[in-house]
Amino acid sequence: MYPSKHVTYSLFILLFFLIILPYGGIFPYTLIFLSSILIDTDHYLLYAYRKKNLSLVKAWKWYLMLANNPKEGQKQIPFLHFFHTVEFLAFVFILSFFYKIFLWVFIGIAFHGLLDILSMKEKKLFEQREYFLIRSLLRKR
Ligand SMILES: [Zn+2]
């Protein structure tokens, strides 16, 4: 899903919850919003790792090219986006028992993941992403 759509949906959910459940002021909702957006930095990290290039513009163009060329996208499979893995989500969830701030981060990440899954299902790209870090590590051996 494009970052602009994540921003739009996250803003919508931010406002929705702020109105119906104004718990704790704007801070928790801002944190949910920011974590639901910033989780996508792992897309850039994957690009930088694979292409050995730090250009944010080239990373953006690479993902656009892959989105428009399914055959080229197939060659790049699987995409391991670390912050999108089940293990990372579980780690943040466990942290939330010790530090309440991570509960808001967890909600943001989970919301983002839900949007990604729905979007990838719709585009029939669900199989392109690796969702489990452990499976990715075992595959490389
Ligand atoms: Zn994402």
C-alpha of residue 82 to centroid of ligand 1, in Å: 10
User: For residue 74, what are its two tokens?
Assistant: 């197939």
Q: Cα dihedral angle (28, 34, 37, 41), rounded to 10 degrees?
A: -130
C-alpha of residue 51 to centroid of ligand 1, in Å: 19
Q: Determine if the peptide bond prior to 78 is cis (ω within 30°).
A: yes
How many domains does the chain fold into?
1
C-alpha of residue 4 to centroid of ligand 1, in Å: 11
Mean pLDDT of 61-77: 80
pTM listed for this prediction: 0.82
Q: Residue for token digits 């949906």? A: 9
Cα separation, 7 vs 12, whole angstroms: 8
Q: Which domain holds residue 60?
A: 3-17+24-139
Q: Which of 27-36, 75-84, 101-110 has the lowest mean pLDDT?
A: 75-84
Mean pLDDT of 117-138: 83
Determine the pLDDT at residue 112. Answer: 92
C-alpha of residue 65 to centroid of ligand 1, in Å: 17
User: For residue 37, what are its two tokens?
Assistant: 């957006």
